[in-house]
Amino acid sequence: MTTPAPARASQDARQRTAAPKLILAITFMGIFLLNLDAMAVTVALPGIGRALGGGTAGLQWIVDAYTLMFAALLISAGTLSDRIGASRAFGAGVAVFTVASAACGLAPGLDELIAARLLQGSAAAIMLPSSLALVRQAFPDAAERARAIALWTVAGAVAVAAGPVAGGVLSSTLSWRAIFVVNLPVGLAVLAVLTRVERSPRRAAPLDPYGQLTAIVALAALTFGVIGGGEYGFGEPLVPGCLGLAAVAAVAFVMIEARTAAPMVPLGLFRSRTVTVSVVIGFGVNAAFYGLVFVLSLFLQDVLHLSVMAAGVMFLPMMAVIAGANLVSARAAARFGPRMPIAAGQAIFALAMFGLLWMDEGTGRPVIAAMLVPAGLGLGLAVPSLTAVLLNDIAADRAGTAAGILNSFRQTGGALAVAVVGALVADRGEFMVGLRVALCVAAVMLVVTTAAALKLPRG
C-alpha cells in the first residue's frame, strides 16, 4: 500500500529533525565522558597510590599522561577531523577512549595505568574538536547552532561538577578501577548510535607531522624534568637533560612552524595582542585550577584523612558554582563586553587563592568548602568570555585553529601545574609549606593575568 503524500512528508520531517538531536546527544555523552573522567581520577589519586604505589611522582603522571597528550594533539586533531570526516574521527576517538578505559581499569601496575592514560588523552584530543564539528554540521542555522553549542558546553560543566563526587562514590563503594570501567557502556552506546549518523564529508587539510612531533617532545620532556626534579632533585643529571631537551624541542618547533607551508600553529596569529593575551590567561587560569584540585585532593585525604567520598563532596560546591557562573559570564559579556567577566573572574580567583593560604589541619571542613566557592565562581566567569573575546578578534577561517591553540595552552597549563605542585609537596614532611607556596604562586600569577586582561578589547 502506498503511503499518502502528507504522511510521507511528515515522516521525512521527523527523520530530518531526529538526526541533529541524535548527533547532539552522542556529542553530549562524549564531552561528558572526557570531563567526568579527568575530575573523577584526580579525587581518587591517593587511593590509586596506595593500591599501585609510585609516590607523588606516579600520581602526577596519572594526571599528566592524559593532559599532556590532550594538549599536544589537540590542534592537529582538528585537522585530522577535517581530513577523514568529523563522524569518522569522533567514532575513532570514542573507540580508542573506550579501549583505553578498559586498559586503565585492568591495569596491574602503575606503568600500565600511565600508558593507558596516554592513550586516553590521545583519544580525548580527537573527540573534542570532532564533536564540535559534528554539532556545526548538524545545525546549519546559526541560532539553532548557538543553542546546541550552549548545551554541549553545559555537558562539560555538569561533568566537571559531578566528577569529584562520582569519583568518590565509585572509589569508596566499588574500587578506583570502577571510574574507568563505567566508561565502557557509555562508549559502546555512543558507537552504536554513531552507526545511524550520516558520514561527514572529508576535506583536504594538510598535516604538520614535524611540528606535532617536536611539540610532543617539548611538552613531555618539560613535564618529565619538573616531575623528576621533585622526585630526585634538580641536581640529578637526568633532570637538567630533560629540561635542555625541552628547550631544544621548543626552539625546533618554532623554527618549523615559521617555515612550513601549513603550520599547526600559525605564528602570525600571535601578532594579535588579543590572541597573545588570551592564551596567556588561558594557561594561567587552568594552571591555577588544576594545581588547586591536585594539591587539595592530597591535602583532604592524606592530611585531613577524609575518605575519598568525603573529599569528593568537599569539591562539589566549587564545581557546581562553575556551571552557574558560565551562564552569568555569557550574560555579563553581552551587557558589558567580555573583558569585564574575564578580569573580574581572575581577580576573584586570585582572592580565593590568597584566602586559602590560611587553611591548615585545624580548619573546619565546611569552611574549606566555602573557601573554594569563590575559586569556582572566578573560573566560571573567566573561561567562556575568554573564548568569546578570542573568536571575536579572529577571521572566521582561522577560528578553529585559534580555539585549538587556546585550549591547547589551557591543557598545557594544567599539566605543568600538576608537575610543579607535585614537586613542591613531594616532601610530605613539608607538605603544608609546599601547599602554601603553590597557592601563593598561583595567586600572583592570576594577579598578573588579571592586569593583562585589561589589555583586551572592551567590547
Condensed to tens digits (0 to 9), the pLDDT of residues 69-118 reads 888 787 777 777 777 777 788 888 889 999 999 999 888 888 899 899 98
Beta carbons of 40 and 166 less than 8 angstroms apart? yes
Rounded to whole angstroms, the Cα distance separating 83 from 429 reads 52
- What's the confidence (pLDDT) of residue 223? 81
What is the Cβ-side half-sphere exposure of residue 339, based on CA atoms within 13 angstroms? 12
Rounded Cα–Cα distance for residues 5 and 175 (Å): 57
The class (CATH top level) of 269-459 is mainly alpha
- Residue 142 has a pLDDT of 62
Helices (H) and strands (E) in the chain, counts: 15, 0
Q: How confident is the model at residue 394 (pLDDT cuts 50, 70, 90)?
A: low
Please state whether the predicted TM-score (pTM) of the whole model is above 0.85.
no
Identify the CATH number of the domain defined by range 19-195: 1.20.1250.20
d(C-alpha 457, C-alpha 373), whole Å:
28
Element (H, E) at 70: helix 55-84
Q: What percent of the chain has pLDDT over 70?
A: 86
Calpha distance 16→328 (Å, rounded): 33
> Sign (positive/negative) of CA torsion 250, 253, 259, 264?
negative
